């Protein structure tokens, strides 16, 4: 149960070996097909040792997430540094998500469901995964802020979190996508990012003022409860 941080060099080695073995095996065989015994075996430690550093198999997935998040950040850094158009930034960012996750496509389904479980410590709506979620939301904040789009403050306040939700939805679609090269997901991304930016532009129309205000208030109140 206790989340032990390694205090000695030997401990660090063990923890790293366990994590490395887990990441490899999740990728090779998927989450469910990877047994804790297999992880311990490959890491060269005993079964019990894994539980000294990771309270559960699910917690190993959290590290898996962090890993892909790092890859994602590295993949889009050049784009975010150079491009100013919001649609292009957003499209590139979301495309990079699915491209980065592509090697884990077969695994993603079981992982997603683990994460969707509100009882799981990995649930992104407040749990052990919150720090990582905040990082992703911060990324979308940068996607928006770094663009030359002028967005009203009431919208831009809620936009990063909404885009994070949007990313989750795309990932869920991607999980089901069996098309070659996952082309359908890429099409949906192109279409939706474009649509989102268009709608952001339309949000200033007087007729939509009322609905916009209510929608934002709704999102804010929903988020407040997490």
Partner DNA sequence: CGTTTAATTTGAACATGTTCAAGTCAGAGC
Partner DNA sequence: GCTCTGACTTGAACATGTTCAAATTAAACG
d(CA 173, CA 184) in angstroms, rounded, equals 9
Q: Rule CB under 8 A: is residue 181 a binding residue for a second copy?
A: no
Closer residue to DNA, CB minimum distance, 50 or 93: 50
- Interface with a second copy (CB under 8 A), residue from 145, 202, 209, 220: 202
**Could you give the maximum distance between any two Cα atoms of the chain, in Å?**
66
Q: Rule CB under 8 A: is residue 120 a binding residue for a second copy?
A: yes
Q: Give me the least distance between CB of 53 and DNA, in Å please.
A: 7
- Backbone CA torsion sign across 153, 91, 169, 136: negative
Among 39, 41, 89, 88, residue whose Cα is nearest residue 64: 39
Among DNA, a second copy, none, residue 4 binds (CB under 5-8 Å by kind): DNA
Within 10 angstroms of residue 82's Cβ, the number of other Cβ atoms is 9
Closer residue to a second copy, CB minimum distance, 5 or 221: 221
Under 8 Å between Cβ of 93 and 137: no
Q: Rule CB under 8 A: is residue 130 a binding residue for a second copy?
A: no
Closer residue to a second copy, CB minimum distance, 44 or 126: 126
- Backbone CA torsion sign across 104, 107, 113, 115: negative
Closer residue to DNA, CB minimum distance, 4 or 74: 4
Among a second copy, DNA, none, residue 215 binds (CB under 5-8 Å by kind): a second copy
């Amino acid at each position: 149960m206790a989340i032990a941080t390694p205090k000695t060099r030997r401990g660090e080695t063990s923890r790293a070996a366990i994590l490395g073995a887990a990441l490899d095996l999740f990728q090779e065989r998927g989450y469910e097909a990877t047994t804790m015994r297999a992880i311990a075996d490959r890491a060269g430690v005993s079964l019990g040792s894994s539980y000294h550093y990771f309270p559960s198999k699910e917690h190993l997935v959290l590290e898996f997430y962090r890993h892909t998040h790092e890859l994602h950040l590295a993949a889009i850094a050049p784009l975010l540094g150079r491009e100013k158009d919001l649609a292009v930034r957003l499209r590139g960012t979301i495309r990079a998500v699915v491209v980065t996750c592509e090697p884990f496509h077969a695994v993603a389904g079981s992982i997603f469901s683990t994460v969707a479980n509100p009882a799981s410590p990995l649930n992104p709506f407040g749990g052990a995964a919150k720090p990582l979620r905040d990082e992703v939301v911060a990324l979308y904040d940068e996607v928006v802020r770094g663009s030359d789009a002028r967005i009203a403050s009431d919208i831009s306040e809620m936009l990063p979190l909404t885009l994070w939700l949007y990313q989750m939805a795309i990932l869920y679609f991607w999980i089901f996508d069996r098309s070659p090269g996952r082309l359908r997901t890429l099409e949906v991304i192109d279409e939706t990012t474009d649509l989102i930016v268009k709608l952001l532009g339309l949000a200033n129309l007087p007729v939509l003022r009322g609905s916009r205000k209510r929608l934002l208030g709704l999102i804010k109140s929903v988020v407040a409860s997490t």
